[in-house]
């Protein structure tokens, strides 16, 4: 398994921090990382690990862990150690903190928008390569729910899988094989129309049906149809979801709403490191 912290440090430090040569002695230093705007913290623990990876003698004190609500000026992390080491680690630590807190903050806004409904906000696989585990942890910090981690832990049959003209009989046979070979893996099928929803509800072994790019009134019909025919099947809405549309989608009665923007479009939160002595 790749190590995103090691990759990030190798990218930034390369053969060594040449600016550190301006420090003749490794004099001690202390600093804090703080928010410059209101946000939900995420990646605080990752930032602390960055400082320790650069210099194992660095001492870190997490003041506000991931998931904390932050106001402008709030300290999330204090670090103490060799001043050159703190400065060498600064940018990588802040990059993780800013990016992951952005994801958590945007997720929290979506979660707040569907408050009062049963819908849960899901992430997707639209993540930065090699940062998926950290980004999905940030979604949890913001109150969201993780969808599948990858292609290995949930079967999701999308339109491109069905484009070859797969018949209902072939779908049922494939579901049966998967249930036999990987009994713990959930099965989700993507539906573009109500006719497909009705077709999928006739199949055995389906856990979730994805309602792709359906208007709210059509989703409501799908929710009613599912409740009558197969109440154990869960419904996920996807496509064109924004902060402006998510409440109306949630009010249709779907169980999940997946939002790719949580990870591919979250704005970084502004953090800084301040030397304390």
Would you name the residues annotated as active-site residues? 91, 126, 158, 190, 212
CA 254 to centroid of chain Cα atoms: 20
Angle (deg, nearest 10), helices 44-54 and 4-13: 50
For 69-95, the three-class secondary structure string (H helix, E strand, C coil) is: EECCCCEEEEEEEEHHHHHHHHHHHHH
Pull the structure tokens for residue 67.
């998931």
Instruction: Dig out the tokens for 260 from the structure.
Output: 């790719």
Residue 210: both structure tokens together? 């994805």
For 220, other C-beta atoms within 10 Å of its C-beta total 15
């Amino acid at each position: 398994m790749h190590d995103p912290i090691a990759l990030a440090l190798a990218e930034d430090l390369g053969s060594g921090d040449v600016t550190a040569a301006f420090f003749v002695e490794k004099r001690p230093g202390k600093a804090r990382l703080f928010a410059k705007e209101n946000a939900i913290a995420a990646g605080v623990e990752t930032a602390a690990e960055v400082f320790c990876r650069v210099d194992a003698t660095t001492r870190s004190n997490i003041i506000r862990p991931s998931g904390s609500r932050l106001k402008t000026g709030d300290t999330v992390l204090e670090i103490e150690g060799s001043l050159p080491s703190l400065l060498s680690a600064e940018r990588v630590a802040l990059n993780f903190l800013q990016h992951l807190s952005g994801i958590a903050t945007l997720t929290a806004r979506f979660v707040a928008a569907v408050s009062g409904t049963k819908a849960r906000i899901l992430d997707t696989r639209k993540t930065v390569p090699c940062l998926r585990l950290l980004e999905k942890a940030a979604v949890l910090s913001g109150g969201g729910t993780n969808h599948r981690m990858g292609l290995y832990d949930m079967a999701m049959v999308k339109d491109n899988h069905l484009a070859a003209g797969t018949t209902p009989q072939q779908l049922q046979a494939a579901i049966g094989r998967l249930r036999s070979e990987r009994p713990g893996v959930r099965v989700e099928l993507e539906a573009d129309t109500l006719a497909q929803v009705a077709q999928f509800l006739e199949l055995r072994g389906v856990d979730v049906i994805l309602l792709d790019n359906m208007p709210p009134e059509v989703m409501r019909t799908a929710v009613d149809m599912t409740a009558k025919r197969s109440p154990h099947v869960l419904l996920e809405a996807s496509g064109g979801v924004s902060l402006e549309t998510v409440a109306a989608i949630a009010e249709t009665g779907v169980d999940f709403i997946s939002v790719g923007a949580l990870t591919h479009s979250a704005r970084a939160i502004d953090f800084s490191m301040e030397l304390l002595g």
